[in-house]
Amino acid sequence: MSSRSTRIMMKEARALFRPWCAVMILCVLPLFHVSQSLSDISVVLGYLGIPMLATLSLGYEFQHRTLSLLLTQPVSRMEIWGEKLSVTIVAVLSAALILCYGWRSPFQQDPKLWVLAGVYLLATVPSATFWTLFARTPMGGFLLNAIFPWVVLLVYWKEIFRSNRSPARSITSLWTLAFAALCYAGVMLWLGGRKLARFQVTGGMAGDDLLMAGPRVMPETLADWFRCRPSGAVLNLIRKEFRLLRPLWLITALSLVYLTCLTLFRFILLRESDAPHPEGVQLALFTPVILFTPLIAILAGSLSLWEERKSGTQSWHMTLPVSARRQWLIKLLMAMFTGSVCAALLPVLVIAALGFIFGSPFMFVDQAMGGLIIAGGTLFGLPVMILGHALPGLLLTALVLTLASFWCACAVNGTVRAALWFAPAMSAVLFAGQWGGWIAPRLVALVVSRFDPFTRFRFTDAVVNLQFFVISFMPLRIERAYLLVVTLLLIPTLLVAVIQSYRLFREPARDSIWSVIQSLLPLAITAFLSVFCWAALPSLTDQTNGTVVSAGQTRHYLLYVPKTFDRSRATPLVISLHPAAGWPALQMEISRWNDLADEHSFIVVYPSGTDVPKHWGEELDVTFISDLIDKLEGEYNIDPTRIYADGMSNGGGMAFALSCRLSHRIAAVGAVAAAHLLPWNWCGDSRPVPTVAFHGTADRFAPYQGGSSPIYPSPFPNIRDWTARVARRNRCKGDPIDARITASVRRIEYTNCSENADVVLYTIEGGGHTWPGGKPLPERMVGRTTREINASRVMWAFFVQHPLGSK
């Protein structure tokens, strides 16, 4: 090897060193046993880093506009190509081997993955030269080089992995794919060398790549519309923005091609197929969609200003007889419009249009959203899963990313610097918001511990009423309510970002790190205060006055002891469980058990569920209730034969579960608008437990007739069928007694049961997901609260008649 070749190869190695290090770091993360979510993200980005490494060697020449200098050297173009290709192969193979080693367990379990990895390498490395020369830009070359092999894998995925295929057919499909990849690699290798040998560098400092080309990528008539006119300054500015954003339209077209393949090959319906591991397959198939969306949104916000600053025309545009405010507003609105249309609206419309081919456009859109939720939730957690349920969530994500990118482009000088600052700036603002959410409950707890306002239950009632006032303005569907909360949290920060972007747009771009940090401080402070205020209100409402250590965890509860409590007399205990996404003080306010406790001298305890949002349904919850009973029996004179449990919604389902798992301690249970999703095998051979239930026929969250609901995908049981099943468990004899007790309330009563374990169902006609006779909840959300019957009073009368051990 000559000294000249050594120098050229060293130049190529230096150019690829930093990207290679970044890809290698992503590939080795799984070796350190980090979190599963981070491992999934690392393997996806590492997988995409392979075509990026294959593209960068030649792509850098286009980016730095040095290709013409390289081709004028007295060296054969084939020799230049061979040197670049050799360095690229070493970089790509080393990264691919580390990636496969980090994920060696799946490869050992399924040898087909080795063939697929080889197919991917064969399809990306040899074709990088052709696609980069064709696109004339590293970004375009990377996208074209990455998407075509992925499309080929889509075609053969089902043939290889479908469970009902014979092994022989699967192996045949696998080797057919390998042969097709080998042919593709050979053809693309020949085309790449041929195109480089004949390549002519044309154009000047601008307009020399496919993305920025005019008539070459669009008809002359359409291209003519984007040319400036002698009059119409505002329209000319809009046309200018369209021209500068043309790279976005090509990237959007590539993403739509990929979505078209997903739809036509019916991979969108993969969850309903017989393919093994459908969630893992959807993670692989929808990852490009997840990555395309933020990429398009980020480019929409920054590309226009980046191009103007790179070409040095922004300062000249500021001298035009058009106000800086108008120029800034047009640029911002065009960025937001392009980001929302290209990142969210167009993909959904394309899927819906293609769905007409199969006669079910909306089903295809729903399934696509489901795939996006599975992949996004696997990679980025619960927020993506919830926001992905609705098109407004995608629009909000696109708009936020676009505005953040636009802010970075205004605050930082230089394309690369602005791109590098995007992730740290977003992380800083998100961290400030998370810090506000973290410190709010702790500060509230400190204030409560010093002043203890919750010893006066009037204060608790006032805070809960304030929470009800806020909830009353929430939309019905939980994902829309979540989206509304996220939007309200973002509005102050987004407004500050918009105001700041105008000021930064007018000022000369600054390069110092301190200036960027100074610009970030108002955004971080606003995000902190917004989340702090929103987190403080739930912290105020979710206050308890007791703890117990259960299964190694500190669990909380809210205890109410009436003023008439007499320690010398055994006192009944009522355990009231809050609904999912509720809290103890909410259950206290809804059920109004405290009023009855004062009248009849019994103790009420409101335990707190686990996780966020709080809910019930785990074995540890049963242990917690048992430990709570033990603690209260040790501190108060509790009558062990008169311990009762009740709850609403998910809490009602948990109360019934306690009748199965703690039947030796729970005398009777009550369930209001119960969500019965816990397994029946929890009951086993438990003793019959008296049960009283209340349910509205207009309950949308736990439907009276059974089936799915807006809050949970699994089907709920029919309430009358469930009541009959409980009666069979309690070994009730004879037919039930059906009677109307008020104009809209019917009672179905099973008597003559074993151990006096009667079963009663009160049906509230037109009643919603509410507590009859309790505090009215927002009707637009949960439905009507009846006043014809008081569930707490009826329940207490039922409890009194059914102590433990009664015959």
Which pLDDT belongs to residue 756? 92
Among residues 269, 268, 270, 249, which one has the least CA distance to residue 259?
268
| 656 and 670 within one domain | yes
CA-wise closest residue to 300 among 336, 268, 325, 274: 336
pLDDT at residue 592 in the model: 93
Give yes or no: residues 477 and 564 share one domain: no
- C-alpha closest to that of 731 among 759, 773, 760, 761: 759
Whether residue 422 is contained in a domain is answered as no
CA angle 791, 796, 800 (to 5 degrees): 150
The whole-angstrom separation of Cα 684 and Cα 687 is 9
Q: What is the CATH number of the domain that holds 622?
A: 3.40.50.1820
User: Does residue 562 sit in the same domain as residue 700?
Assistant: yes
What span, in angstroms and rounded, lies between the C-alpha atoms of 513 and 376?
A: 32
DSSP state of 91: H
Distance of CA 48 to the CA centre of its chain: 22
Q: Is 114 helix (H, G, I), strand (E, B) or coil?
A: helix
Are 169 and 313 within one domain?
A: no
164/39 same-domain check: yes
Determine, yes or no, domain membership for 685.
yes
The tokens for 275 are 């393919």
Residue at 402 is within a domain = yes
Task: Find the Cα–Cα–Cα–Cα dihedral 765, 768, 770, 773, rounded to 10°.
Answer: -40
373 in the same domain as 393:
yes
CB of 30 closer than 8 Å to CB of 45? no
In a domain, 287, yes or no: yes
Q: Annotate 719-731 with b (16+ C-beta within 10 A) or e (fewer).
A: bbebbbbbbebbe
What's the pLDDT at 802?
Answer: 95
Alpha carbon separation from 684 to 627, 645, 711, 757 (Å, rounded): 22, 19, 28, 17
Contacts of 571 (CB under 8 A, 6+ apart): 565, 601, 602, 603, 636, 637, 638, 639
Q: Are 80 and 68 in contact (CB under 8 A)?
A: no
Dihedral of the alpha carbons of 17, 401, 370, 29, in degrees to the nearest 10: 30
In the predicted model, residues of the chain with pLDDT beneath 50 are: 160-161, 163-166, 204-215, 268-280, 370-389, 457, 469, 472-476
- Residues 135, 141, 143, 148, CA torsion sign: positive
Q: What is the pLDDT of residues 506-554, one digit of tens each?
A: 887 666 778 888 888 999 999 999 888 877 766 666 678 889 999 889 9
Contact between 248 and 300 (Cβ < 8 Å) = yes
Domain that holds residue 139: 1-205
Listed in order, strand segments (DSSP E) in 623-682 are: 638-648, 668-672
- Expressed in angstroms, the distance from the first to the final Cα of the chain is 99
Q: Are residues 349 and 301 in the same domain?
A: yes
pLDDT of 368 reads 52
Residue 341 tokens, joined: 């249309």
pLDDT of residue 612: 66
pLDDT at res. 123: 78
Whether residue 742 is found in the same domain as residue 707: yes
Residues constituting the chain: 807
**Residue-wise pLDDT tens digits, 440-453:** 877 877 776 666 55
| Closest of 87, 202, 90, 74 to residue 136, by C-alpha | 202
147, 29: one domain: yes
- Spatial distance between the Cα atoms of 507 and 485, rounded to a whole number of angstroms: 34
Distances in Å between the Cα of 482 and the Cα atoms of 450, 476, 584 are 33, 10, 21
How far apart CA 189 and CA 200 sit, in angstroms, is 19
Residue 719 counted as domain residue: yes
Let me know if residue 423 belongs to a domain: no
Whole-angstrom distance, CA of residue 770 vs CA of residue 776: 7
Reference 558, options 489, 598, 511, 606; nearest CA is 606
Other CB atoms within 10 Å distance of the CB of residue 648: 31
Domain co-membership, 435 together with 314: no
* Of the residues 521, 539, 557, the one at which a domain ends: 539
| Interatomic CA distance for residues 806 and 688, integer angstroms | 11
Q: What is the pLDDT of residue 475?
A: 45
- Structural domain contains residue 602: yes
pTM over cut 0.85: no
Q: Are strands 603-607 and 638-648 parallel, antiparallel or unpaired?
A: unpaired
* Separation CA 405–CA 295 (nearest Å): 10
Total number of domains in the chain:
4
Token code pair at residue 606: 């409101």
Instruction: Indicate the residue among 381, 411, 441 that finishes a domain.
Output: 411
Tell whether 419 is covered by a domain. no
- Cβ neighbours of residue 346 closer than 8 Å, sequence gap 6 or more: 252, 256
One domain for residues 530 and 567: no
Residue 74: the pLDDT is 80
Residues whose CB falls within 8 Å of the CB of residue 161, separated by 6 or more in sequence, listed in order: 112, 170, 275, 276, 277, 281
Select from 205, 236, 253 the last residue of a domain: 205
Indicate if 638 and 784 belong to the same structural domain: yes
